Amino acid sequence: MRKKIENRLNMYQSVISVCNDHVSVWEGIPGFVDAFTAFKNTYETVNVTAQQQASKTVGVSAGKYGKLNTLIDSIIVVHGTLKLHGTVINDTSLIARNKVNASLLKSLSMQQLLIHLDTLIVDINNYGTFLGVYGVDEATLDATLGAIDEARNVMNSPRKAIIERKLQTKMLEQFVKEMDDVLKTNLDTLVRVHKKSNPTFFDLYWNARVIIDSGVKKSNTPKEPD
């Protein structure tokens, strides 16, 4: 979440807290009740969206590398039997394509690994029926092909998560704009009415309206009405 949005959410929460603590001041004023209810409901929606956004990329990398390590352990066995079959049938190209180890596979970039997996799938389709004599049956090959498909999805998951996070950020920015409009157009004006009759509420409200930016020394304080 962008720091600017996080700072504003903290301010909104402070405003809601002050208003909740002084319900007796405004509960009999329909306009105030409507404005505060709209503001509070939007804040709750924003809070849920912020949590969703924060969770979009959490754990993606750990999950990705865990799946890839499991896949590599699986395909090494298949590579070994394909290489062995290449030796038996004297196919040097098949031997070369499958002369790999775990360290080599882990050193490949994502794009290189995807190309490598595509080549492996072709070899499995062409020579898979001959691998049974080496102890690799059809069920093992099906499981390997399924693991490859799953790994492809996992390798694309970080990009998907980033795209979704950007969409969530845009939603947050729109919600923040709506909340700022409610504050400036409605609540700020309605609180102004209570400056003389309820000075404590008035002062607390405007103190809550201070946006504290932890990255700078000064706080962004809205102009208090006369």
What pLDDT, in 10s, does the model give residues 140-199? Answer: 999 889 888 887 777 665 555 555 566 666 777 888 888 888 899 999 999 999 999 999
Cα–Cα distance list, 207 to 8, 38, 148, 176, 202 (Å): 14, 21, 57, 19, 9
Q: Which of 86-90, 143-147, 171-175, 220-224 has the lowest mean pLDDT?
A: 220-224
- Rounded distance between C-alpha atoms, residue 75 and residue 145, angstroms: 9
Assess contact for 124 and 145: CB atoms under 8 A: yes
Nearest 5°: the CA angle 78, 84, 90 is 135
In the chain, where are the structural domains located?
A: 60-161
Locate tokens 């990705």: which residue?
Answer: 64
Q: Is 211 helix (H, G, I), strand (E, B) or coil?
A: strand
Q: Which is more confident, 219 or 98?
A: 98
Report pLDDT for 112: 83
Please say if the pLDDT value at position 57 is more than 50.
Answer: no
The per-residue pLDDT for range 198-207, each reduced to its tens digit, is 999 999 999 9
Quick one: pLDDT at residue 114? 82
